[in-house]
Amino acid sequence: MRIRKLGVVGAGTMGGGIAALAASAGLPVILLDVPGKEGDRDRNGVARTGLDRAKKSKPAAFMDPDRSAMIRVGNTEDDLALLADCDLVVEAIIEQPEPKRALYARLETTLPEHAIIASNTSGIPIHSLLEGRGAGFRSRFLGMHFFNPPRYLHLLEIIPTPETSPETMAAARHFSDRVLGKGIVVARDVPGFVANRLGVFGMVLAIRQMEKHGLTIDEADVLTGVLAGRSKSATFRTADLSGIDVIAHVTNGLSQTTGEDFSLSPWVLSLVKAGRVGEKSGAGFYRRVGKEIQTLDWRSGEYNPQSKPEATGLSRIGKLPLRDRFAAIRDWNDREGAFVREYLLRFSHYVLSTTPLIAYDLTAVDHAMEWGYAWEIGPFKQMDLLGAEFLRRGFVELGLDEPALLREAREGFYSPDGTRVLSLSGGYEEIPREPGEIGLAALHLPTNRERHVLDDSNDASLLDVGQGVAVLEFHSKMNTLGEGVVAMLHRALDRVEHDGMDGLVVGNEDPRTFTAGADLSMIVGLLQAKDWSRLESAARAFQDTSLRIRTAPFPVVFAPFGLTLGGGCEFSLHADLVQAHAEVYMGLVEVGVGLIPGGGGTTELLFRFATELGPYAEADPFEGVRRAFQLIAMATTSTSALEARKLGFLRDADRITMNRDRLIADAVARVKDLAPDYVPPVPRTIRAMGKEGLGNLHYAAWAMHEAGQITDHEVRIAHELAYVLTGGDGPPRLVSERDILDLEREAFLRLAGTKETQERIAHMLTTGKPLRN
């Protein structure tokens, strides 16, 4: 069964976010909530307010604000029949069993026999909600627990009951994976499921350990955040974002349903009583006063300016790579170290003891915490870094027993070669992977390396992923494009042609950055040495690389995601096809360091936009020039793949993948689509506007300067950019791509020679932030 239309009942933060994600994916959505109060003119006001909240939310709930038009609002009293043509209805109402059961009774008589019904409950056992429902309803019912915000957190817990049909599970999984882009963890039907059962325990544990070791909230958040492989928001910032009242409700429910002690400290409950429940109320564990962030002193109840912990061990360990960090934590014995060690030991013991009750396999636990709580690595991977002997010794010191899973983990929880994981039924099993995914990391393992690694360097690797397709992955710092990466790209193009392969994909599995662009440190080195000849050669080589991507005798597909900036955007623009992840933040941002795109990006945008106007005889040719000028001069960066398409970084033919885990496989499929009758694109010419267009752009720069919007140096950058985009200051003329590339390179070099641009580059390398000079 294919899910073509979604219903969401409950237009709160979660319901609105789920509706926004589905609409962003292109699905029509019905969003219902209770009717407005008696006397309200708008009976759909509650749902409309929820939609408006989603439209205004930060970070943005919609990948494209225009997709909000895909959502129709209504109320559960007048409009329940609107759900009759929905294939899936997600319930996201108040977190209490009785209202949910009452809604299901009405849905059972309204929905078609094929429609799936899902609850977004964050922890109520799914089977307990089915009281009074018939066999057909029961077979089409399951839990689908999204994490907030639904657009950004990858995790979706799917919780079947014993009566959920295989067809229902298959349809829900396929839709959630391919259409919504979710990472799926199938959880047991127990209170809290997987992620919240462990995550909430970790939060309660951190509070108790902070009190025991006499730490401050600032100290505890540093120690339970990035340092320990967890998210940057750590414990208390996460609670503020979630709502301390919500945490209190969840902990109370878990205490009642599990029989375990999830109780919060009295001082935490006093915050809830006082209405200081976190971000939504303006104060919680933290509060903002003007531009200052203040932290609660949990002993006195007063707020003080946020402080940065400065323990010696903390500063030393915090700078280490993750594996070395965990090795150092084992021997960290001062006050902060004692806290971290006991916290990790007690949390690990709980995970080991609880996993058989809540999950079907160990990887589900790791994925739940990585995808739902944004941990760098999950708890079993962390335990492998800590080591079994450290865990056993620590459990003895704390008076804890040795859980059965630890006794069985003779090779670690993951096998040393990274291919197998400890099974809950005994022994080891292959690490499960969704069918159709292509994982690059596994191809580097010793057992696979000889067959799959075609070429390798410190900066990039060329991998044979099968089907006659190679994948080039970058692994320089921030995947920047230095000489090593560019050289490997040329070697990859040579190898694919020499071996007669079908084509090349350029992509990687970095969690955040496809590429941050050109390696500025290389440029700085050449500028400091005043090696203008080599800088000119490097700029020409970058342009030639872009052209070679365009003219290769086989399809080249780029698979960008996350940050895709500067040179990475330029290379992507020259690919035959782009298979972009939905969360791609793409832009030509060179003006931030005082340059213009010099790797063919300026030229490509001009030709792309001018060519789009070609079929329209009455179109103003300046419109294409203006559009390219605006994008580059303003360093515009997309906030999603949908926006990248609107801006022109992606073409209509370029494709979007919702699920990051499937991006490489989808890109490989595009190569296979193009390969059978592939012919490289022909060279293009356009009519450059010359002096007339140049004057228009100069006036625009002058007006912005007069309005105080740009600096003197930014006027110069704008003039150089304008000169390239108009083909110089002569009369209109027919120009080739090479003509504009030459102008682009010369402008790039002139700007690189200015003091102001060199200051901008140095500032970016030092601070990571742009300088306006």
**312: pLDDT strictly greater than 70:** no
Q: What pLDDT shows up at residue 211?
A: 97
Compute the distance between CA of residue 580 and CA of residue 586 in angstroms, rounded to an integer.
10
What one-character DSSP code corresponds to residue 37?
Answer: P
Partners of 556 in the beta sheet?
A: 504
Residue 644 buriedness (CB in 10 A; 0-12 / 13-18 / 19+): buried
Q: For 179-226, how does the pLDDT look when each residue is reduced to its tens digit (9 = 90+)?
A: 999 999 999 999 999 999 999 999 999 999 999 999 999 999 999 999
pTM: 0.94
Rounded Cα gap, residues 630 and 623, in angstroms: 10
**Confidence class for position 541, pLDDT limits 50, 70, 90:** very high
For 614, the token pair is 């070609």
Residues 6+ apart with CB under 8 A from 257: 123, 125, 191
pLDDT digits (tens, 9 = 90+) for 374-410: 999 999 999 999 999 999 999 999 999 999 999 999 8
Tokens 């739940």 locate to: 368
Residues 6+ apart with CB under 8 A from 255: 261, 262, 263
Instruction: Please report which residue ranges of 469-519 form alpha helices under DSSP H.
Output: 483-498
Per-residue pLDDT band for 266 (boundaries 50, 70, 90) equals: very high
What distance in Å separates the CA atoms of residue 747 and residue 602, rounded to the nearest whole number? 11
- Please check the confidence at residue 39 and state whether its pLDDT lies above 80: no
Q: pLDDT category, 49, cuts 50, 70, 90? A: very high
The model's confidence at residue 433, banded by pLDDT at 50, 70 and 90, is confident
DSSP code at position 589: -
Confidence at residue 47, expressed as pLDDT on a 0 to 100 scale: 97
SS (H, E, C) 537-560: HHHHHHHHHHHHHHHCCCCEEECC
149: preceding bond cis by omega (within 30 degrees) = yes
- Coil vs helix vs strand at 88: strand
pLDDT > 80? residue 285: yes
Inform me whether the pLDDT recorded for 38 exceeds 80. Answer: no
Amino acid, single-letter form, for residue 257: T
Position 115, amino acid: A
C-alpha angle 579-585-589 in degrees, rounded to nearest 5: 115
pLDDT digits (tens, 9 = 90+) for 50-90: 999 999 999 999 999 999 999 999 999 999 999 999 999 99
541 contacts 562 by C-beta, under 8 angstroms: no
List pLDDT tens digits, range 332-355: 988 999 999 999 999 999 999 999
Each residue of 238-254: pLDDT tens digit? 999 989 999 999 999 99
Q: How far apart are CA 503 and CA 531, in angstroms?
A: 37
pLDDT in tens, 735-750: 999 999 999 999 999 9
Of 445, 582, 477, 561, the residue nearest 511 (C-alpha): 561
pLDDT at 311 over 80: no
Stretch 122-146: mean pLDDT, rounded? 96
Cα(130)–Cα(230) distance, integer angstroms: 36
What does the pLDDT read at residue 310?
Answer: 77
SS3 sequence of 350-380: HHHHHHHHHECCHHHHHHHHHHHCCCCCCHH
Please identify every residue annotated as catalytic: 157
- Tell me the percentage of the chain whose pLDDT exceeds 90: 92
* E strands present in 543-619: 556-558, 562-565, 577-581, 584-587
Residues 6+ apart with CB under 8 A from 643: 63, 64
From the list 157, 196, 584, the residue with the least C-alpha distance to 373 is 196
Model confidence at 760: pLDDT above 70: yes
pLDDT over 90 at 671, yes or no: yes
Q: Which residues of 139-170 are buried (b: 16+ CB within 10 A; e: fewer)?
A: bbbbbbbbbbbbbebbbbbbbbbebbbeebee
- Dihedral angle over CA of 587, 592, 594, 599, nearest 10: -20
143 vs 169: CA distance, rounded Å? 10
Q: What number is the average pLDDT over the span 638-653?
A: 98
Three-class SS state of 274: coil
Residue 149 has pLDDT above 90, yes or no: yes
Q: Whole-number mean pLDDT of the chain?
A: 95
3-class secondary structure, 400: coil
Sort strands 141-146 and 155-160 into parallel, antiparallel or unpaired: antiparallel
Span 654-679, average pLDDT: 97
Tell whether the model's pLDDT for residue 313 goes beyond 90. no
Query: Which tens digit of pLDDT belongs to each residue from 98-115?
Result: 999 999 999 999 999 999
Helix axes 532-551, 520-528, angle to 10 degrees: 150
Average pLDDT of 309-318?
78
Phi, psi of 463 (to 5 degrees): -120, 140
